[in-house]
Amino acid sequence: DIQMTQSPSSLSAAVGDRVTITCRASQSISNNLSWYQQKPGKVPELLIYAASSLQSGVPSRISGSGSETDFTLTISSLQPEDSAIYFCQQTYRPSFTFGPGTRVDIK
């Protein structure tokens, strides 16, 4: 299976800060990468698909980039409601593995 890693595992940032999370695949996955946000006790929500496409309804301060093995999720101006865990997921067949998650806290 393709292994996914994320860094950092957690971060704390102030409202208005620019936040970047990285996700790395153990082999090339082209642009088959999605990002999800999960708040405590809630169902995950899709943020980004195909590495850089913004899911409908997701704020434009969130963006994704990357290809092959290295990907990033950026929040351009952190808001209080962005406090959550963020997971990347590769969907390059046959198995669709998730990263371990990055916890984002607000200072």
Residue 101 near another protein by CB under 8 A: yes
Residue 95 near another protein by CB under 8 A: yes
Starting from the edge strand earliest in sequence, which strands make up the sheet with 4-7, in order? 4-7, 19-25, 70-75, 62-67
Residue 86 near another protein by CB under 8 A: no
Residue 83 near another protein by CB under 8 A: no
Name residues contacting another protein, limited to 10-49 (CB under 8 A). 31-34, 36, 38, 43-46, 49
Q: How far apart are CA 59 and CA 93, in angstroms?
A: 29
Cα separations (Å) of 28 from 33, 71, 82, 99?
A: 11, 11, 29, 15
Q: Which residues bind another protein (CB under 8 A)?
A: 1, 31-34, 36, 38, 43-46, 49-50, 53, 55, 87, 89, 91, 93-101
